[in-house]
Amino acid sequence: MSKWARSGGRTRAWVAVAAAMLFVGFAGVSIAQAESFRGVGRAATPDEIKAWDIDVRPDFQGLPAGSGSVRLGMEVWEGKCASCHGYFGESSEVFTPIVGGTTAEDIRRGRVANLARPDFPQRTTLMKLATVSTLWDYIHRAMPWTNPKTLTVEEVYGVVGYILHLGDMVPEDFVLSNHNIAEVQARMPNRDGMSIRHGLADVRGKPDVRNVACMTNCAPSAKVTSSLPEFARGTHGNLMEQNRTIGPVRGVETIPQVRPGPN
């Protein structure tokens, strides 16, 4: 028996001690980390992390089980959404419309034909959206704008179903649920319309924006401004009068009104 094998018992004991020390060590690290922020908050609890972890993915991972009818959705929509987005999703304020611009042929084909028309006045949400999970996720986390995260799971299913109904994708007696949402995905008008393959030749299928996080000598802050230069105002007439036919998005008034003088 070799010296190594004979000392096997002791070796195992050492491994156990080392493992225990490692464990204590790890625990020590997390305590030290928490302590290094002493007075600044505390470690998040598992329940808190769960409350933040609400993303719903295109394969529906993260989607809470449940259902909601189009009828319930209509009540939610009219009570909590229509004031900003319009009764039929046409938008009653400055926001772009949610519904409009899609056809039965788009639903069949999975591509929205109006997106290819430069003369089409607006791009609505249903025209651009490729994944129904995004609609569910976004409404659940961010809407109503003034009161996000207040809708129940049932209300979110209902209101998503209602929007889909306004877009003629589901009938008015439909009940959207985690069981049938994949079938609805197969009816999204622009489900096959999102791709990076059709980019310009110099993009070659890759994203055309590549940002690298600045870690040293970074500019303290970037000032982003956007305005229409004085000389360009009026070049294309009054933009305010040209914008959209689906609901009222107001453009900038580029031709100043002649107002009566003081005398």
> Which is closer to ligand HEC, CB of 60 or CB of 138?
138
By the rule CB under 6 A, 26 interacts with ligand HEC: no
By the rule CB under 6 A, 83 interacts with ligand HEC: yes
The residue whose two tokens read 């034909």 is: 113
> Which is closer to ligand HEC, CB of 83 or CB of 238?
83
Task: Pick the binder of ligand HEC from 63, 72, 99, 143 (CB under 6 A).
Answer: 143
What's the angle, vertex CA 20, arms to CA 17 and CA 22, rounded to 5? 110
Task: Pick the binder of ligand HEC from 63, 74, 76, 176 (CB under 6 A).
Answer: 76
Stretch that binds ligand HEC, among 78-86, 182-190, 195-203, 226-234 (CB under 6 A): 78-86
Q: How many residues bind ligand HEC (CB under 6 A)?
A: 18
Closest approach of ligand HEC to the CB of residue 85, in Å? 5
Phi-psi region of 144 (alpha: psi -120 to 50; beta: other; left: phi over 0): beta
> Which is closer to ligand HEC, CB of 80 or CB of 107?
80
Task: Pick the binder of ligand HEC from 63, 99, 130, 139 (CB under 6 A).
Answer: 139
By the rule CB under 6 A, 191 interacts with ligand HEC: no
What's the angle, vertex CA 56, arms to CA 45 and CA 72, rounded to 5? 105
Report the chain's terminal Cα–Cα distance, integer Å. Answer: 115
Token pair for 38: 């002493």
Which string of b and e fits 42-80 if b means at least 16 CB within 10 Å?
eeeeeeeeeeeeeebeeeeeebeebbbbbebbbebbeeb
Token pair for 192: 């096959």
> Which is closer to ligand HEC, CB of 107 or CB of 190?
190
Task: Pick the binder of ligand HEC from 144, 158, 161, 247 (CB under 6 A).
Answer: 144
Residue pair 98/125 in contact by the 8 Å Cβ criterion: yes
* 112 vs 97: CA distance, rounded Å: 16
Token pair for 121: 């006045």
Closest approach of ligand HEC to the CB of residue 146, in Å? 5
x-marked contacts with ligand HEC along 145-184 as a string, rule CB under 6 A: xx----x-------x-------------------------
Could you say which residues in the range 91-110 bind ligand HEC, by CB under 6 A?
95, 98
Tally the C-alpha atoms within 13 A of residue 134's C-alpha that lie toward its C-beta. Answer: 9
> Which is closer to ligand HEC, CB of 86 or CB of 107?
86
* 105 vs 93: CA distance, rounded Å: 29
Residues that bind ligand HEC (CB under 6 A): 76, 80-81, 83-85, 95, 98, 125, 135, 138-139, 143-146, 151, 159
